[in-house]
Amino acid sequence: MAGFDDVIIAGIGHTEYSKDSGRSEMQLACEAALAAIDDAGLAPAAVDGMVTFTLDPNDELTLMRNLGIPELRYWSRTPHGGPGSNTMVQHAAAAVTAGVADAVLLYRAFNERSGRRFGQPNQRQSMPGLNWYLPFGVDTPAKSYALAFQRYMYEFGVTNEDFGRYSVVARKHAATNPNAWFYERPITLADHQASRWIVEPILRLLDMCQESDGGAALVVTRADRAADLRHPAVRVIAAADGHLVDGSVMYNYYHRDLAEFSEARFVARQLWDASGIGPAAVDVAMIYENMSPIVFLQLEAYGFCGRGEAKDFIAGGNIELDGVLPVNPHGGLLGEGYIHGVNNVIEGVRQVRGSAANQVANVEHALVAAGRSGLVLGRL
Amino acid sequence: MAGFDDVIIAGIGHTEYSKDSGRSEMQLACEAALAAIDDAGLAPAAVDGMVTFTLDPNDELTLMRNLGIPELRYWSRTPHGGPGSNTMVQHAAAAVTAGVADAVLLYRAFNERSGRRFGQPNQRQSMPGLNWYLPFGVDTPAKSYALAFQRYMYEFGVTNEDFGRYSVVARKHAATNPNAWFYERPITLADHQASRWIVEPILRLLDMCQESDGGAALVVTRADRAADLRHPAVRVIAAADGHLVDGSVMYNYYHRDLAEFSEARFVARQLWDASGIGPAAVDVAMIYENMSPIVFLQLEAYGFCGRGEAKDFIAGGNIELDGVLPVNPHGGLLGEGYIHGVNNVIEGVRQVRGSAANQVANVEHALVAAGRSGLVLGRL
């Protein structure tokens, strides 16, 4: 079971998503956190738990001092990367359910474009598995992911142009989202195909998520606080993590079948079990995309279409705002910004609240999928 | 509330505690983990959650592969240092209570003597607060803790000889614990007073915890599994964390009163509230002691004696095996070894099971105190 009866996301907050914030990462964390706490209608003193990523540079005790939070009874960090965006919610939901905290602040903030860029060649001391690939020249996320993406392309006859059709949709959505870095800047498939190769013949520049500066935060609390809130409460219907043996830090190099995302399939199974819904009941999906192909693999892992069918599912218009399954109405990490997936959770909350820039009608169930982790959000 | 009705510690495991393990930290983690899983009567495949410290070098995915754990549904890491030993149990207890995991492996392993020594001068990239003290020459834990300890000595007329009386007890206990590095090597107060100053006139060598190589692990699971276990189940009656604004990474430099341990007092309050017991009902206490004075501050924070009274409480024999409150019967971090406090939790489990080397009679409630965190363990 990964379901929660009495846990809500009560507040969301973020800075602008930029390429050069001009201020410290701690400042970004504070701004996002204060916005989320205020959005929940709470005072900082009500916060008694904190969750962030192991990769986050912002120390909890410093954040307490800066925000004026007097006491914490719970803190945790989520290992590894972007799936932590949902895992933070799982941690907080477990803490609130078990009564070890009442109101948990989730935060992630970085100068990931003007400071340390994840996309650059890098030895990853915090992710030991990755260093084994360095002797082979696999020194960026693009290169490491591309290995498995190429197998997927081979198995199902998928081309880079197919991937581009996702990018076009993401940028179309971002173009009408004022929070998005690429607001009012849509692209065509021709633009995508004209963008330079990052890993030929798999990934072009316009398949890649942004590198962003910014902060994003959430407040998770008990459902019985819903009456005090400034906005409609959003229930955490299910929150799941899924890690499989022979997984690697990032994606899939050792599983028997490199053309499927086994971890996402494992997460999906848990989410459907815990929520009692299936793919047909999902009204909108926020799908983590450090690179466009991973949307394809997750659409298939969650059963929105069959294996190898994502290219036709996307080409058929199904992921557009008026489609069967609107995907990333905010523009996703390609279009809106890359706050390590936390902005996807925020968009999930907005879609359930009914306050998104590109609002899907009557959202009862929002899926937030980030590979090794996932959420089903809904109305209280 | 920080209490748990249905959570037990089912397994414990550790390597030898040494000064030069002669093998990798991952190897130590695997040995400790396998021992704990086996001690619980489980197979690795039953483990579906993992918790460790943010400081731990051993990656979860590598550990899964090495141990043969097929799937994880939960993972988390505890920020900062040694209090994480108890915080791991709090995380796991919340996860099990909320149903996001059934059997959680807690681990900590390092070559902290033969590899990176925490006691050496160090810029702590993982603990940003500490670097502010570097310009003043405060570049080791001994120096940073000594500042507050000196205030405590001044306020209550405590001398280094008083601290030595704790060290003598810890070494006396270690001398009859075959797991202890200082097995069969007790010290006298004269030995303590003859040992060299680390920070004069506050801390001598024999006030300091060991630097150790080793691994330690626990398995936390649901109480309804107790029937299958190899050993008596140990209930997690309460598990609490407590972090206060104006705390620093290590100990207390900014609180109004430097001669008390405010965080420990906050943790104690939570533990008594959640467990329904008070200090008089504690049969044995494992108290984290990176340095001997911190035992004094915690005895007072938990109400085992009044403020400034710890020196008389200890001198009166109360913390010995036949005393009112036996403390660290395994020898603690000074006598047994320094596995970042996790060996204290293991001793707590053994004391409740009735299987400790220096067993206290009829233990119903064991306290494990580690400054910013604490546990009350008991029989199921």
Of B249, B240, B299, nearest to B271 (Cα)? B240
Residues of B in contact with A54 (CB under 8 A): 54, 77
Q: What share of chain A is helix, strand, coil (3-state, %, to 5)?
A: 40, 20, 40
Give the one of B64, B95, B243 whose C-beta lies nearest to A94's C-beta.
B95
In terms of DSSP bridges, do strands B234-241 and A213-222 run parallel, antiparallel, or are they unpaired? unpaired
Answer yes or no: do B243 and A72 touch at CB < 8 A.
Answer: yes
CA–CA separation, A276 and B222 (whole Å) = 24
Helices (H), chain A: 25-39, 60-67, 84-98, 141-156, 160-174, 189-194, 262-275, 293-301, 310-315, 332-335, 342-353
Signed CA dihedral, B190, B196, B199, B204: sign only: negative
Determine how many CB atoms are found less than 10 A away from the CB of residue A199: 21
User: Residue-wise pLDDT tens for chain B (380 aa)?
Assistant: 557 879 999 999 999 999 999 999 999 999 999 999 999 999 999 999 999 999 999 999 999 999 999 999 999 999 999 999 999 999 999 999 999 999 999 999 999 999 989 888 876 655 566 677 778 888 889 998 999 999 999 999 999 999 999 999 999 999 999 999 999 999 999 999 999 999 999 999 999 999 999 999 999 999 998 888 889 999 999 999 999 998 876 677 788 899 999 999 999 999 999 999 999 999 999 999 999 999 999 999 999 999 999 999 999 999 999 999 999 999 999 999 999 999 999 999 999 999 999 999 999 999 999 999 999 999 98
Residues of B in contact with A241 (CB under 8 A): 72-75, 100
Q: Among all residues of A, which ones are annotated catalytic?
A: 288, 338
According to DSSP, residue A101 is labeled -
Other beta carbons within 10 Å of A280 = 10
**Shortest CA distance from B95: residue in chain A:** A94
Closest CA to A182 of A208, A204, A210: A210
The DSSP string of B269-318 is: HHHHHHHS--GGG--EEEE--SBTHHHHHHHHHTTSS-TT-HHHHHHTTT
Question: CB distance A71–B248 less than 8 Å?
Answer: no
CA distance B303 to A127: 43
The partner residue sitting opposite B54, judged by closest CB among A77, A87, A127, is: A77
The sign of the torsion formed by the CA atoms of B117, B119, B120, B121 equals: positive
Interface probe, candidates B7, B245, B248, chain A, greatest A C-beta count within 10 A = B245
Q: What pLDDT, on a 0 to 100 scale, did the predictor assign at position A135?
A: 80
Q: Is the pLDDT of residue A351 over 80?
A: yes
- Label residue A134 by pLDDT band (50, 70, 90): confident
Cα–Cα distance measured from residue A233 to residue B309, given in angstroms and rounded to the nearest whole number: 50
Whether B282 contacts B375, CB under 8 Å: no
Query: Cβ contact (<8 Å) for B243 and A99?
Result: no
Report d(CA B292, CA B312) in Å as an integer.
15
B93 within 8 A of B239, measured Cβ to Cβ = yes
* 8 Å CB contact of B79 and A76: yes
Size of interface A-B (CB pairs under 8 A): 147
Q: Compute the nearest-CA separation of A233 from chain B (Å).
A: 20
Asked if residues A119 and A211 have their Cβ atoms less than 8 Å apart, the reply is yes
Is the per-residue pLDDT at A123 higher than 80?
A: no
**Partner-chain contact B62 A242, CB within 8 Å:** no
Cα–chain center distance at A292: 13
Partners of A273 in the β-ladder: none
Specify the pairing of strand B284-287 against strand A284-287: unpaired
Chain A residue at shortest CA distance from B56: A126
Tokens 């701690």, residue located = A26
Nearest to B99 by CA among A49, A90, A105, A84: A90
User: What is the C-alpha separation between A364 and A360, in angstroms, rounded?
Assistant: 10
Q: How distant is the alpha carbon of residue B362 from its chain centre? A: 22
Contacts of A373 in chain B (CB under 8 A): none
Q: Distance (Å, rounded) from C-alpha B79 to C-alpha A74? A: 10
Contact B78 A75 (CB under 8 A): yes
Question: If you write DSSP's letter for every residue of B180-222 in order, what string do you get?
Answer: STTTT----HHHHHHSPEEETTTEEGGGBPP--EEEEEEEEEE
Quote the distance between the C-alpha of residue B215 and its chain's center: 13
At B260 the three-state DSSP class reads coil
Q: Give the mutation candidate from B4, B51, B52, B61 for the A interface (greatest A CB count, under 10 A).
A: B61
CA dist., res. A370 & res. A287, Å (int): 6
Burial class (CB in 10 A: 0-12, 13-18, 19+), A214: buried
| Count of alpha carbons within 13 angstroms of residue A360, beta-carbon side | 29
Contact criterion met (CB < 8 Å) for A3 and B70:
no
Residue A217 distance to chain B (closest CA, Å):
18
Mean pLDDT value of segment A174-190: 98
Tokens 């994606």, located at residue: A251
Nearest chain A Cα distance for residue B40, angstroms: 21
B289, B290, B293, B295 alpha-carbon torsion, rounded to 10°: -10
Reported confidence tier of residue A246, pLDDT bands at 50, 70, 90: confident
CB contact at 8 A, B301 and B148:
no
Would you say residue A327 has pLDDT above 90? yes
Runs of H (alpha helix) within chain B:
25-39, 60-67, 84-98, 141-156, 160-175, 189-194, 262-275, 293-301, 310-315, 332-335, 342-353
Closest CA to B224 of B37, B96, B98: B96
Please judge whether B73 and A240 are an interchain contact, meaning their C-beta atoms are less than 8 angstroms apart: yes
Give the residue with greater pLDDT, A139 vs B327.
B327
Cβ–Cβ of A65/B245 closer than 8 Å?
yes
Question: DSSP letters of A212-223?
Answer: -EEEEEEEEEEG
Q: Return the residue of A nearest to B125 by Cα.
A: A57
Q: Indicate the residue type of A207.
A: D
Per-residue pLDDT reduced to its tens digit, A90-112: 999 999 999 999 999 999 999 99
Judge contact between B91 and B236, C-beta under 8 A.
Answer: no
Tell me the nearest-neighbour CA distance from A316 into chain B, angstroms.
34
For residue B269, what is the nearest residue in chain A, using CA coordinates?
A73
- Minimum-distance CB partner of A78 among B1, B71, B76: B76
Q: How far apart, in Å, are the Cα atoms of B193 and each of A10, A26, B164, B202, B205?
A: 57, 45, 7, 11, 9
Residue A224, pLDDT > 70, answer yes
Tell me the chain A residues in contact with residue B75 when contact means C-beta distances shorter than 8 Å. 78-79, 87, 241, 243
**B275 to chain A, closest Cα gap in Å:** 13
Query: CB-hemisphere CA count at 13 Å for A264?
Result: 27
Query: Under a CB-based contact definition with an 8 Å cutoff, are residues A236 and A377 in contact?
Result: yes
Domains identified in chain B and CATH numbers: 7-116+210-379 (3.40.47.10)
> How many C-beta atoms lie closer than 10 Å to residue A230's C-beta?
11
Within 8 A of A59 by CB-CB distance, chain B residues are 79, 127-129, 249
Q: What is the C-alpha separation between B124 and B134, in angstroms, rounded?
A: 10
Query: Is the confidence at residue A136, as pLDDT, over 90?
Result: no
pLDDT at B62: 92
**pLDDT (tens digit, 9 = 90+) per residue, A275-309?**
999 999 999 999 999 999 999 999 999 999 999 99
* Encoded amino acid at B67, one letter: L
**CB distance A94–B98 less than 8 Å?**
yes
Of B69 and A125, the structure prediction assigns the larger pLDDT to B69
Q: What b/e string do you get for A177-197 counting C-beta neighbours within 10 Å, with b at 16 or more? A: bebbbbbeebbeeeebeebee
- Farthest CA pair distance, chain A: 57
Q: Which residue has the tokens 């017991």?
A: B277
d(CA A359, CA A361): 6
* B97: region left, alpha or beta (phi > 0 left; psi from -120 to 50 alpha): alpha
The tokens 């205030």 sit on which residue? B151
- The ipTM is 0.96
Parallel, antiparallel or unpaired: strands A203-204 and B49-53: unpaired
Hey, which residues of B are catalytic here? 288, 338
Contact state of A78 with B77 under an 8 Å Cβ cutoff: yes
Which chain A positions have a beta carbon within 8 Å of B90's beta carbon? 74, 100
pLDDT tops 60 at residue A2: no
Distance from CA of A248 to the nearest CA of B (A): 7
Distance from CA of B36 to the nearest CA of A (A): 20
Q: Mind telling me how many Å the CA of B337 is from chain A's nearest CA? A: 26
Q: Which of B44, B91, B41, B13 is nearest to B350 (CA)?
A: B13
The stretch A64-93 carries a mean pLDDT of 97
**Which phi and psi (to 5°) does residue B282 adopt?**
-80, 125
Which residues in chain A have their CB less than 8 angstroms from residue B266's CB? 71
Pairwise pLDDT comparison (A45 vs A3), residue with the higher score: A45
Find chain A residues with C-beta within 8 A of B245's C-beta. 64-65, 68-71
Q: Is B173 in contact with B287 (CB distance < 8 Å)?
A: no
Mean pLDDT check: name the lowest of A219-233, A343-357, B111-125, B126-140: B126-140
Do residue B64 and residue A97 have CB atoms under 8 angstroms apart?
Answer: no
pLDDT of residue A127: 59
Compare CB distances from B54 to A54, A70, A99 and report the shortest one's residue: A54
Contacts of residue B154, defined as CB under 8 A and 6 or more positions apart, other chains included, come to B259
| Whole-number pLDDT of residue B2 | 55
Closest CA to B272 of B310, B309, B237, B296: B237
Which of A57, A61, A76 lies at the smallest CB-CB distance from B91? A76
Report CA-CA distances (Å) from A57 to A47, A54, A127, A361, B195.
20, 8, 15, 38, 40
Please give the average per-residue pLDDT across A141-145, as a whole number: 91
For residue B73, give the nearest of A93, A242, A249 by CB distance: A242
